Each structure stands twice: as C-alpha cells, then as structure tokens.
Structure 1
Amino acid sequence: MNREASSPIDVTTTPMPADSAAIRSAFSRFPSGIAALCAAVEGEPVALVASSFQVGISLDPPLVLFSVQQSSTTWPRLRRATHLGVSILGADHGEICAQLAAKDKSARFKDIETIVDADSAVFLPNSALLMKCSIRSETAAGDHRLILLEVLGVQADTRVEPLIFHGSEFRGLDRR
C-alpha cells in the first residue's frame, strides 16, 4: 500500500522498559521457528530448546547461530558434546517442545522418539529440518551467549511445516 506524501507516517517509540517481562512481551511479536539442540553426553540425552535460532549466517562455510542465557544449566553440559543434532521442530511438535524445555530435566526425553547418530548427535523425527553441527565459537552478549555452529550435514523434509513461536504461543503457518 502506497501512502501519499501529504499523509506522513507518524512513528513513535517509547523508551525500553526496565521490566524484562515487558521486553520479552515486545520481542514475542517477532515470529520464529524453534530448534531443539540435542546430543548424548556421557550416554544421556541432553536438550536445549531455542527460538533464537538463525540460519544463513554464512554459506561458505555453512554457519548457523543461536543464543542461550548465561544462567542456563543445560548449556554447560550440552557444550561438552563434539556434535549437536539440531532439529527444526515441526508443527506437530508443540507438546514435545514444551517437554524438552521443562525445568525437570530427568523427564525431558520420556516417551520421545529420537535418532542418535555415531557421533552422539540426537535428532527428533518428523522435524522440518535436521542439521548435524559442531560448535565453532561462543561470544558473550549481555545476559546471553551467542553460539556459532558449523553445519556438517542437513536433511530437510519439505512435507513438514515448521512450528512457529509468536506472541508466546506455538502456531503453524497460515497458508492463505
């Protein structure tokens, strides 16, 4: 839609709220896919769920990125893995996503089917995209860490629609 020059757009912003809940609510207006980053560490599956996952950071070499809170107790365990399985969750994975992100780490993989490869990368079947990755670098960024991953292999399933996180809710794509 084009606007005529005689009707200018009035865009105003408000200062950033000091309240982290208000910031989180504002940021929730940006829709994102959801990645489950998983590996078997010392024989036990470990999962971290990230809505901050970004692809296309670099094509040569292929790099992806996600962020994790500095206070995470899962990341120090997961980062010990030599390879991570990244599963871009499918539209039907809402309950699995909530279970993998639960505070009770002992029940995260209860009754969840997984695929574990020879390098202990763990994948979730019926995902929109699977990527095998290795950790390239970590950088402190405020109260988070930015984790750069090198993609070593991919498998996409074009029949699976991705799970979307928007407005603090799980959604699917609306194909109008």
Structure 2
Amino acid sequence: MPTPASTTLEKPVDPLAFRHVLGHFCSGVTIITGVEDGPPGPAPAGFTCQSFASLSLDPPLVTFSVAKTSRTWPRIAPTGGFCVNLLAVEQEDLCRSFAVSGADKFAGVEWSPAPVTGSPVLAGSLGWIDCTVEAVHPGGDHWLVLGRVLGLDTVPAVTEAEPLLYYRSAFRRPAA
C-alpha cells in the first residue's frame, strides 16, 4: 500500500477530490467584519468565513483564511482590526448575504461596534471576538490571517441557540 508521501509524489492532488474529501470536515461559520476607512467616511464591511479557528491561548490568537480574490478583505485589512461573529443557525440568510460580492451587505442589518476596534458585532450572533491583525501570510490562493484577541464575549440572549455549521457543501444544524 502506498504511503501518503509516495502518492503525493506520483501525481498532483485533483482539486475536485480535495474539495470532496475536505467537505467531510464540519466547520462553524462566521462573518468577519471591520470598518473601512475611506470617503465619504467610515463604513462597515464584512464577509462570510468558514475557515476560522482558535490558534493560541498565550498569547490569545485566532486565525482565518480569506481568498486572495476577496474584494472585502482589502477594505478591512488596512484598518488593522476585525471582529469575528460566531453565527447561530438562525443566521443562515445573513450568512448567505455576506457571501455575495458587491451587495450592500449591511442594509437592514443591526450591529453595534466592538469595544476596541469598533468593528461590527452583528445582532443575533452567538458571540464575537474583537481582534487586531497580528500577521498575514500567503497560503496558496488564500491569505492566512492571524488575529490577536483584544476582547470577546458570548451573547446571553443567544447562547442557547445552535451554531450554524457547514458540512458537505451545505449549511447544517447540530444533530440532537
């Protein structure tokens, strides 16, 4: 039986197979938000992100990846701060709207500023994590962003809700 290393050397990994296999890994869904500096003034910006994870307790760091083709991340990155909004299953429509390019994603969306960065904390989220950008590294067709956690909390009125999950190319709710 070939080892994974010898299989990798024999031929490149098929992108469809890569997507299929990794689609069997369940991930939580977040919306990364920030406040874009620019004319006519500060404006909220955000995008849906399922590639988020905690990284370190000491110092407190989180990480996410964003496509290099993203139109939203270049609007947030220069500010040096962002907020991770942990989505509840009831926020699937919001999640879908933040995944679309070009739309006014914040139209009709209730939010409040995170305490340190001022990045949007979206109403109805399970929790939020207010961060500064610690580092950004290239990773293939994505950027790997490391964030230093400056503040975080759960939302008491929402914490009993179920998280929004992504599994096998579809949004899911946890099985009871």
TM-score (norm 1): 0.83
Gaps of 5+ in 1: 1-9
Q: Mark the CA change 1:17 to 1:90 in structure 2 (over 3 Å): closer, same or farther.
A: same
**Deviation at 1:150?**
0.6
Q: Deviations over 1:30-61 (max 9, x none)?
A: 00001111012122111022111001x11011
Partner of 1:168: 169
The yes-or-no answer on 1:147 pairing with 2:145 is yes
Shift of 1:28: 1.2
Indicate the residue corresponding to 1:46 in structure 2: 45
Residue type matched to 1:139 in 2? H
- Superposed displacement of residue 11, structure 1: 10
Does 2:35 match 1:36? no
Mapping for residues 62-141 of structure 1, pairs under 5 Å: 62-104=60-102, 106-117=103-114, 119-141=117-139
Identity %: 30
Preserved contact between residue 91 and residue 164 of structure 1 (Cα < 8 Å): yes
Tell me how far 1:12 sits from its aligned partner: 9.3
**Alignment partners' CA distance in 2, 1:83 and 1:59:** 19
Deviation at 1:16, TM superposition (A): 5.6
Query: In 1, are the aligned partners of 2:44 and 2:119 still within 8 Å (CA)?
Result: no
Cα distance, 1:82 vs structure 2:
3.2
SS of residue matched to 2:66: strand
Structure 1 residues 104-124: Cα deviation after superposition (integer angstroms, max 9, x where no partner)? 2x3212222111246321111
Mapped contact 1:66–1:147 kept (Cα < 8 A) = yes
Measured in 2, the distance between the counterparts of 1:68 and 1:141 equals 9
Task: Provide the secondary structure at the position in 2 that maps to 1:79.
Answer: helix
Task: Give the alignment's Cα RMSD to 1 decimal.
Answer: 2.2
- Return closer, same or farther for 1:11/1:95 CA change in 2, 3 Å cut-off: farther
Gaps of 5+ in 2: none
> Larger Cα Rg: Structure 1 or Structure 2?
1
Do the aligned residues in 2 keep the contact of 1:34 with 1:163 (CA within 8 Å)? yes
Q: How many residues align?
A: 163
Distance 2:126 2:57 in 1: 19
Contact 2:114/2:130, CA 8 A, preserved across alignment: no
TM-score (norm 2): 0.83
Which sits farther off after the overlay, 127-136 or 106-115? 106-115
